[in-house]
Amino acid sequence: MFRVQQRLRCIRIVSTAFLSCVPLFVARRPKTPLRVLCIAAFEYLARLRGASLDDTHRLALAYACDFGALRNDFYDQRELDRHMYRELRHGLRRLAQETATRRYIVELRKTERARPVFGPDGFAETASVLEYRLRVLVLSLAWLQIVSRRSIEPGSGIMDAAQVRQSTDQGHLGIAARDADLINGELR
């Protein structure tokens, strides 16, 4: 009976987190349903702690998700929509911590400059590609955590620095310790 109650509670939390984000599906921001689901995940984390993201924090996450996608497009396709960039940066300056956003941009730029090169025979080392992708994910999640203004403690479902190190050691990815420390230090 206790397990059934736990499952029902979990379903209720997931449902209310998702329903609070439904208006974002028809809003101007974020631009895609996948980004709305990302925001719903942060809403879920907040609700697990008995809180909720307010409209301002949801909007900040929407701007951040769109900004991250724009930066990704820039690094992948070498094209930047300057008008969209300015609009997103302006919104982020109003809604999110500017120092964290600048730090994210700098760290992402460093990571992208060290991106593995795709040669005529494909990627030379699969491990370097996995390391690069993991670093981008860690940077992005850490920044989104700051934008949401919600702490993501160890054991909350998001990897902390020790868990990142352990998973990379087990997977032989060789991620630098400072990459994992961004979660617990510089970007917080």
- Residues 135, 179 contacting (CB under 8 angstroms): yes
Burial of 112 per CB tally in 10 Å (0-12, 13-18, 19+):
middle
> Where are the chain's structural domains?
1-96, 99-188
Secondary structure element (H or E) that encloses residue 173, with its range: none
Predicted confidence pLDDT, tens digits, the chain (188 residues)? 889 999 999 999 999 999 999 999 999 889 999 999 999 999 999 998 889 999 999 999 999 999 999 998 898 888 889 999 999 999 999 999 999 999 999 999 999 988 887 766 666 677 888 888 899 999 999 999 999 986 555 444 444 444 444 544 444 333 334 444 443 344 33
Beta strands in the chain (DSSP E): 118-119, 122-123
Query: What is the pTM assigned to this prediction?
Result: 0.76
d(CA 173, CA 171): 5
- Within 10 angstroms of residue 164's Cβ, the number of other Cβ atoms is 24
d(CA 75, CA 55): 30
